[in-house]
């Protein structure tokens, strides 16, 4: 049994991962902004939970985010794994500046605030731990239909890599897992848009949890998106910038 905090557990991938972790017998603390969804998670899962589920309202961009995280860690009696799933993302073909700023705020400032706080917590509580985060395959290339989203996901990929190096230099025995799913059926997808491949949240959660268990550093989900990423990586920049993505 591990003590696991899931930040961004109210809906989508985070909710599904939290559910599978509860079913597997872990002690889970869930966080997110929507308190009604935190409460409904507890209601839905309390009969199968072997350990009480704790919930904490937390906005990753708020100044009190780290204090809220501390409260949740205390309520579950410590932390073995910090799983950061919280994220904002939508296509923004009109390049609406307010939307771009919101995505940037949640996926960079909010991300760094939670991940850094977890790092320091692990460093001062035994010098070991595991930070896992759901980023995306979108960080591989800049996407014209989602500039802030693709750019902030790249930042997250690089931040986790930097943190892995930092932990080694710091002598902290920290596992870091960067989970990079392709499109999955959650509220983040543009409604009514036809996507070529869409994964189920159940599958993404199952594969991601297995990767965390195996201490994998990077986990791209699934094999079809691995192929997509491999092809994208080979496209030279001048050609990439001439590609038109369907809006
Ligand atoms: N679905 C996909 O196709 C896909 C693919 C690759 C990567 N991802 C990544 O997966 C993660 C989860 O997204 P999802 O697809 O599951 O979409 P989702 O259902 O919209 O989930 C987003 C989660 O992030 C939380 N969140 C958003 N802003 C927050 C804030 N300011 N403070 C705290 N929590 C916040 C939401 O909780 P509250 O609103 O309650 O705060 C919610 O739990 C994101 O990082 C996304 O980029 C998704």
One digit per residue, the tens of pLDDT, for the chain of length 247 reads 999 999 999 999 999 999 999 999 999 999 999 999 999 999 999 999 999 999 999 999 999 999 999 999 999 999 999 999 999 998 888 999 999 999 999 999 999 999 999 999 999 999 999 999 999 999 999 999 999 999 999 999 999 999 999 999 999 999 999 999 999 999 989 888 888 899 999 999 999 999 999 999 999 999 999 999 999 999 999 999 998 876 6
Compute the distance from residue 85 Cα to the ligand 1 centre, in Å: 6
For the CA of 9, the closest atom of ligand 1 is 43
- Domain housing 205: 3-240
**Pocket test residue of 5, 6, 7, 13 for ligand 1, highest count of atoms within 8 A of CB:** 13
Contact of 160 with 117, CB cutoff 8 Å:
no
Q: What is the pLDDT of residue 59?
A: 98
Residue 247 lies in a domain: no
- For residue 219, the cross-strand partners are 179
For the CA of 87, the closest atom of ligand 1 is 45
Residue 65 lies in a domain: yes
Between CA 230 and CA 139 the distance in angstroms is 13
Residue 101 lies in a domain: yes
Summarize pLDDT for 30-50 with one digit per residue, the tens: 999 999 999 999 999 999 999
Residue 62 lies in a domain: yes
Q: How far, in Å, are 1, 21, 184 from residue 44 at the CA level? A: 20, 14, 22
Q: Which residue has its alpha carbon closest to ligand 1 atom 18?
A: 12
Q: What is the pLDDT of residue 244?
A: 83
Residue 246 lies in a domain: no
Residue 245 lies in a domain: no
Binding-site residues, ligand 1, Cβ < 6 A: 8-14, 32-34, 37, 58-61, 85-89, 106, 110, 134, 136, 181, 183-184, 186-189
Compute the distance from residue 168 Cα to the ligand 1 centre, in Å: 29
Q: What are phi and psi of 116, to 5 degrees?
A: -65, -40
Per the structure, the count of domains in the chain is: 1
**Model pTM greater than 0.95?**
yes
Compute the distance from residue 169 Cα to the ligand 1 centre, in Å: 31
Name the burial class of residue 245, with classes exposed (0-12), middle (13-18) and buried (19+) by CB atoms within 10 angstroms of its CB. Answer: exposed
User: Domain containing 189 — which CATH number?
Assistant: 3.40.50.720
């Amino acid at each position: 049994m591990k003590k696991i905090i899931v930040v961004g557990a109210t809906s989508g991938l985070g909710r599904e991962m939290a559910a599978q972790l509860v079913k597997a017998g872990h002690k889970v603390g869930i966080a997110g902004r929507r308190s009604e969804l935190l409460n409904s998670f507890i209601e839905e899962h309390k009969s199968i939970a072997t350990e009480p589920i704790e919930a904490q309202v937390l906005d990753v961009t708020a100044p009190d985010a780290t204090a809220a995280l501390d409260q949740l860690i205390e309520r579950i009696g410590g932390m073995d794994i910090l799983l950061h799933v919280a994220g904002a993302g939508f296509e923004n073909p009109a390049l609406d500046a307010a939307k771009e700023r919101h995505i940037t705020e949640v996926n960079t400032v909010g991300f760094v605030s939670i991940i850094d706080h977890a790092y320091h917590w692990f460093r001062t509580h035994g010098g070991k731990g595991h930070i896992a985060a759901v980023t995306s395959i979108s960080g591989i290339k800049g996407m014209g239909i989602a500039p802030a989203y693709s750019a902030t996901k790249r930042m997250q990929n690089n931040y986790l890599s930097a943190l892995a190096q930092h932990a080694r230099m710091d002598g902290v025995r920290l596992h870091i897992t960067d989970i990079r799913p392709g499109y999955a059926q959650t509220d983040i997808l543009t409604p009514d848009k036809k996507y070529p491949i869409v994964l189920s949240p159940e599958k993404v959660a199952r594969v991601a949890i297995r990767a965390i268990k195996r201490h994998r550093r990077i986990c791209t989900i699934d094999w079809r998106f691995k192929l997509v990423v491999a092809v994208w990586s080979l496209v030279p920049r001048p050609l990439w910038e001439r590609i038109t993505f369907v809006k």
